[in-house]
């Protein structure tokens, strides 16, 4: 499936075949494409927890107001952000670049993020959003459906998955085989209402 078709056909699906399991190869392929998502300064500050275990999915369902897609989908991907990625050996993010580029860019990372906790969090959320869209489009291209979700208790989810203290939970994306098609789009705004040129 080409990219534009995947964008057009991707929908937030709520009903999945609970008996379908994605193969390890499929999951690895999905995540390898996800890792191509861009991040500021190439920090790769996203962290992904892929939940396959049914017992954990059931616990996540309970923490997600019992939404069935959490337990029925093949996998649940928790998209998190490492708030301290900027400080964790930042030279490794540029290890394949020419030395002159490394010498210029690497010191800038700490200078930009080091004393700004709000920016660290904002960057984690931006990276999570970009990666989440990559997951959904890649899943669609692979013949799977998905649903992005924020309808859960973040404290409960963090406890269930042992979220590290220096990580923040962005959102979750469930991926699996749909059992029902998406309904008609419920109310797309006209392009003239949301797209502007040059100035508002």
Q: For residue 111, what pLDDT is reported? A: 95
pTM: 0.95
- Main-chain dihedrals φ then ψ at residue 159, nearest 5 degrees: -70, -40
Where are the domains positioned within the chain? Answer: 3-194
- For residue 33, CA distances in Å to 10, 142, 184 come to 16, 11, 29
Q: For the segment 120-158, what is each residue's pLDDT rounded down to a tens digit?
A: 999 999 999 999 999 999 999 999 999 999 999 999 999
What does pLDDT average to over the chain?
A: 97
Residue whose pair of structure tokens reads 């029925």 in the numeric block: 72
pLDDT band at 182 (very low <50, low <70, confident <90, very high): confident
Q: For the segment 37-71, what is each residue's pLDDT rounded down to a tens digit?
A: 999 999 999 999 999 999 999 999 999 999 999 99
- Domain 3-194, CATH among 3.30.70.100, 3.30.1300.10, 3.40.109.10, 1.20.120.530: 3.40.109.10
């Amino acid at each position: 499936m080409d990219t534009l078709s995947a964008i057009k056909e991707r929908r937030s699906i709520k009903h999945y075949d609970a008996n379908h399991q994605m193969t390890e190869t499929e999951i690895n392929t999905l995540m390898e494409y996800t890792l191509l998502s861009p991040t500021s300064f190439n920090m790769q500050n996203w962290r992904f927890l892929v939940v396959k275990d049914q017992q954990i999915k059931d616990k996540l369902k309970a923490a997600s107001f019992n939404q069935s897609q959490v337990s029925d989908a093949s996998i649940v991907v928790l998209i998190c952000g490492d708030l301290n990625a900027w400080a964790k050996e930042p030279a490794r993010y540029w290890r394949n670049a020419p030395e002159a580029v490394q010498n210029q860019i690497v010191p800038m990372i700490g200078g930009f993020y080091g004393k700004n906790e709000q920016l660290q969090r904002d960057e984690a959320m931006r990276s999570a959003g970009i990666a989440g869209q990559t997951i959904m489009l890649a899943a669609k291209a692979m013949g799977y459906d998905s649903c992005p979700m924020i309808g859960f208790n973040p404290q409960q989810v963090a406890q269930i998955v042992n979220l590290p203290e220096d990580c923040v939970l962005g959102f979750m994306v469930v991926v699996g085989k749909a059992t029902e098609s998406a309904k008609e789009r419920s109310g797309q705004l006209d392009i003239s209402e949301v797209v502007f040129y040059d100035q508002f």
